[in-house]
């Protein structure tokens, strides 16, 4: 199991930071949201954006392999000539594979999950 280091998102606003438990990964045969991170964020929305970014990074690590098609493969297989159209298809396919969530960190709830995933 991989985990991301604790990091802090910087905000120009003087908002109180809270710690969030973030899980992310890819669905299907990839096992779902099986990676985690603990991060400080000013809001739940910010934590969800981070979870989405982690899941996207995970997807991009497999891009063009393991059944996840690259833009070029989409252009060739679907006979799409317009790269923008192929990128749109790629983004839709990526969305269908992403699995992620974020919630405020609760040691009683999340520490046992973290231990099980480490």
Residue with token string 């919630």: 103
Average pLDDT rounded to a whole number, residues 41-64: 97
Q: Where are the alpha helices (DSSP H) in 1-118?
A: 44-62, 71-77, 83-97, 107-117
Q: Could you tell me the pTM of the whole model?
A: 0.82
Average pLDDT rounded to a whole number, residues 21-44: 95
Domain that holds residue 46: 3-117
Residue 7 has pLDDT above 60, yes or no: no
Q: What total of structural domains would you count in the chain?
A: 1
- Residue 39's DSSP bridge partners are 7, 20
Packing angle of the helix pair 44-62, 83-97 (nearest 10 deg): 110
Between the CA of residue 13 and those of 23, 57, 83, what are the distances in Å?
Answer: 26, 27, 39
Average pLDDT rounded to a whole number, residues 92-112: 95
* Higher per-residue pLDDT: 67 or 114: 67
Residue 94 has pLDDT above 80, yes or no: yes
pLDDT for 54-83, tens place per residue? 999 999 999 999 999 999 999 999 999 999
Nearest to 21 by CA among 36, 33, 31, 35: 36
Radius of gyration of the chain (CA): 17
């Amino acid at each position: 199991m991989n985990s991301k280091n604790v990091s802090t998102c910087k905000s120009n606003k003087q908002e109180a930071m809270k710690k969030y438990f973030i899980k992310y990964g890819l669905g299907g045969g990839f096992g779902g949201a099986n990676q985690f991170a603990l991060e400080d964020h000013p809001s739940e929305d910010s934590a969800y954006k981070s979870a989405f970014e982690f899941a996207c990074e995970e997807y991009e690590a497999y891009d063009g392999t393991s059944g996840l098609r690259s833009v070029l493969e989409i252009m060739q297989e679907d006979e799409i000539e317009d790269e923008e159209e192929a990128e749109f298809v790629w983004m839709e396919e990526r969305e269908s594979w992403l699995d992620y969530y974020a919630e405020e960190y609760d040691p009683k709830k999340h520490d046992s999950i973290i231990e099980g995933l480490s």
